[in-house]
Structure 1
Amino acid sequence: MSQDSFEDWRQRRHAELAGPDSWFGLVGLFWLEDEVSRVGSAADCVVRLPAGPAHLGDLLMRDGSVVWRPVNGAGRHLATDRDGKPDVVNHELLSFFIVERDGKLAARVRDRGWAQQRLFHGLEHFSEDPAWIVEADWLPLDPPLILEVPNVSGDLKPVTVGFQARFEIAGQTLQLLPMSVGDSEVFFVFRDRTSARETYGGGRFLKVKPAADGRIRLDFNRAFNPPCAFTPFATCPLPPPENWLPLAVTAGEKRWNGAH
């Protein structure tokens, strides 16, 4: 992860949310349950597009893979988001791609022209405060914990947690459990006493650089809203009770007020 400044981070975050592939552009999430799912604007389509032809094509589910068969054109396999960026099917300003959640597949539909109708003026943040940059101990858990992490849809996903970040703020000893640990970043989901007041009620995300020499740096100034703060068509993990911090983290992004 780059060592960009807080202002650079804010500008990059703004560009991400204001761009054509922003979470604001999602207009549908359709779960695929049948072997053949029609895609188009007609009422009988499983994947319902807000505009365009009545029948654009079909999604075929075969042996755990997905094939896109357009009405006009050759068919092709579509990679889901399971192992990285999914393949995208474009039609004018509309696009869709396949997401995989706990063995189930869904088509996410995006309107890449959303910003032509709605302006995004940015997010509010707490002022940057070096007091919210914390050097935490990175402690192994033996045996690892198995957490049942809920998401906004009410589903539970088992997550194996092998480490814990332990740190002190305002005289309190606190812990956070990571939701994932990778070669390039560690991902946390947390809730605090600003949640549902000054910040998003479903908690916030924090991504940091991997630990080194038994220490990990948590910069809460870069805590950010999950996609579910901006669209009902995302499936976001919620913070487990172990990551409910008993104090107000007055750092990072504030709650999105819904105005563009």
Structure 2
Amino acid sequence: MTSIQEPTTAEEFTRAWEEWHAASQRALADPHGFLAVTSLHWLDGGPTRFPDAPGAWWTGPDGVWVELAADEELLLDGEPVRGRYGFGVLPERSSRYAAAGEAVVEVAKRGGRDIVRPRHPGNPLLRDFTRTPAYPPDPRWAVTGRYLPFEAPRPVTVGAAVEGLQHVYDAPGEIEFTLPDGGGTHRLTAFNGHLPGSLQVLFTDATSGVTTYAANRVLSVPAPDGQGRVTVDFNRATNLPCAYTDLATCPLPPAGNRLPAAVEAGERIPLERGGLP
């Protein structure tokens, strides 16, 4: 059973946030992370070569294929791939990664369409990255909420950072909480998080497009405790990859997940998008 953490001192709260944010920045600067993406290619039935990935790529009823020239090679799960290779039919939101020298080629399905997305460590966006500005951590923005599960998960269709693309997620429930300083009580649709029992909330608020990224931010919420309580810490509201690059297919928040108050906590507009230090 997960329990809600007892309040810590302001110094402990700040130190924990700084450690979390530093780890988040290290992950963002990974040599093959989203800042390393150099292009986004939507596959069709005609074999096509791309300047930043070896091989000719196409898709069809039996999935994604690549045809490599005699002097080309990929490494998939550590094994060399030469000639013609089929990746098969990929599940929605899945990715496979093939090494090509220092680069990695991501093969994925997004919004029902197959894509190839090369990632190069020397990409200028990654090379020039320094940090993501954020509001100073403030314990007021770490509130206790209540998880309200649905009787059964509900499929929720949301838009995407790429025009015309849609994502469908199963929402297990909602999270209800009260914002500080008279910000009111609100409910937001939650999706499943990366860890068992955890949740994720996509949202916008009155800072969106002003001091925070306009399209979305995401908040990870630890698993509810035995009474359904959750910690909603807006200090840990994070930018999605689309805040940094137009080569991401990030989901937009569900209808209703816009908070009318200004949530002056968490990550701000990236410097790469004109954000202020």
Tell me the SS of whatever aligns to 1:27: coil
TM-score normalised according to structure 1 size? 0.82
Tell me the SS of whatever aligns to 2:256: helix
Runs of 5+ unmatched residues, structure 1? 40-47
Q: Does 1:16 find its partner at 2:27?
A: yes
CA distance change for structure 1 residues 80 and 187 in 2, over 3 Å: closer, same or farther? farther
Match of 1:68 in 2: 66
Q: CA deviation at 1:18?
A: 2.0
Q: Is the 8 A contact 2:197 2:222 kept in 1?
A: yes
Runs of 5+ unmatched residues, structure 2? 6-14, 71-81
Q: Report the Cα distance in structure 2 between the residues aligned to 1:159 and 1:23, rounded to whole angstroms.
A: 22
Q: CA deviation at 1:75?
A: 4.0
Q: Does 1:108 find its partner at 2:117?
A: yes
Q: Report the Cα distance in structure 1 between the residues aligned to 2:23 and 2:126, rounded to whole angstroms.
A: 22
Q: Report the Cα distance in structure 1 between the residues aligned to 2:124 and 2:267, rounded to whole angstroms.
A: 21
Match of 1:57 in 2: 55
Q: Report the Cα distance in structure 2 between the residues aligned to 1:164 and 1:108, rounded to whole angstroms.
A: 33
**1:153-186 CA-partner distances (Å, limit 9, x unpaired):** 2333343323110011234111111133562531
| Matched letter for residue 28 of structure 1 | S
Q: Report the Cα distance in structure 1 between the residues aligned to 2:151 and 2:111, rounded to whole angstroms.
A: 26
Instruction: Name which of 156, 174, 186 aligns with 1:147.
Output: 156
Q: CA deviation at 1:84?
A: 7.7
Alignment RMSD = 2.9
Q: Report the Cα distance in structure 1 between the residues aligned to 2:90 and 2:22, rounded to whole angstroms.
A: 26
Instruction: Name which of 246, 258, 274 aligns with 1:232.
Output: 246
Q: Is the 8 A contact 2:133 2:268 kept in 1?
A: yes
Q: CA deviation at 1:126?
A: 0.6
Match of 1:94 in 2: 103
Q: Is the 8 A contact 1:49 1:109 kept in 2?
A: no
| Matched letter for residue 69 of structure 2 | V
Q: CA deviation at 1:121?
A: 1.5
Q: Does 1:220 find its partner at 2:231?
A: no
How many pairs are equivalent? 246
Q: Report the Cα distance in structure 2 between the residues aligned to 1:258 and 1:83, rounded to whole angstroms.
A: 29
CA distance change for structure 1 residues 184 and 162 in 2, over 3 Å: closer, same or farther? closer
Range with bigger deviation, 18-27 or 84-93? 84-93
Q: Percent identity?
A: 27
Match of 1:180 in 2: 192
Q: CA deviation at 1:143?
A: 6.5
Q: CA deviation at 1:7?
A: 1.5
Match of 2:169 in 1: 159
Q: Is the 8 A contact 1:96 1:109 kept in 2?
A: yes
CA distance change for structure 1 residues 67 and 208 in 2, over 3 Å: closer, same or farther? same
Tell me the SS of whatever aligns to 1:7: helix
Match of 2:206 in 1: 193
